[in-house]
């Protein structure tokens, strides 16, 4: 599995994003913001995204294409919250560009999980 972990890390380093997103509802003035860990990879070749989904789970959605006559259809694979933890832990040794983001995202997700008492 180490080869697929390294492959995943390369894809995320080059084509992806590791982020902490703020989620706010309509009542955002009454409640503190909620945060989630998100890993995203966008590409026009859905085969790569299908492989990520097969390996790690998550979901794939099409991007809205404003110029279909000029641009190929693009898609995005995404995995969030506690489902992202095994991905981040597995690819950490192989990340080059996004290692710092992965460390912060893991810290956040582990704190949220501990605070909520989720196993």
d(CA 21, CA 26) in angstroms, rounded, equals 16
Confidence of residue 65 (pLDDT cuts 50, 70, 90): confident
CA–chain centroid gap for 104, Å, is 13
Assign domain 2-116 to its CATH superfamily: Homing endonucleases (3.10.28.10)
pLDDT number for residue 70: 80
Structure confidence by residue, pLDDT tens digits, 80-112 = 988 999 999 999 999 999 999 999 999 987 777
Domain locations in the chain as residue ranges: 2-116
Confidence of residue 26 (pLDDT cuts 50, 70, 90): low
* 44: DSSP letter: S
Q: At what angle do helices 2-15 and 46-56 cross, to 10 degrees?
A: 130
pLDDT number for residue 35: 81
pLDDT number for residue 23: 73
pLDDT number for residue 27: 58
pLDDT number for residue 48: 97
């Amino acid at each position: 599995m180490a080869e697929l972990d390294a492959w995943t890390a390369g894809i995320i380093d080059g084509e992806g994003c590791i982020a902490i997103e703020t989620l706010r509802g309509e009542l955002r003035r009454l409640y503190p913001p909620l945060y989630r860990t998100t890993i995203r990879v966008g590409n026009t070749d859905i085969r790569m995204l299908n492989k990520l989904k097969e390996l790690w789970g998550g979901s794939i959605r099409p991007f809205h294409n404003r110029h279909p006559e000029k641009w190929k259809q693009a898609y995005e694979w995404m995995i969030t919250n506690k489902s992202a933890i095994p991905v981040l832990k597995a690819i950490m040794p192989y990340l080059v560009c996004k290692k710092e983001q992965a460390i912060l995202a893991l810290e956040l997700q582990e704190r949220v999980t501990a605070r909520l008492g989720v196993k």
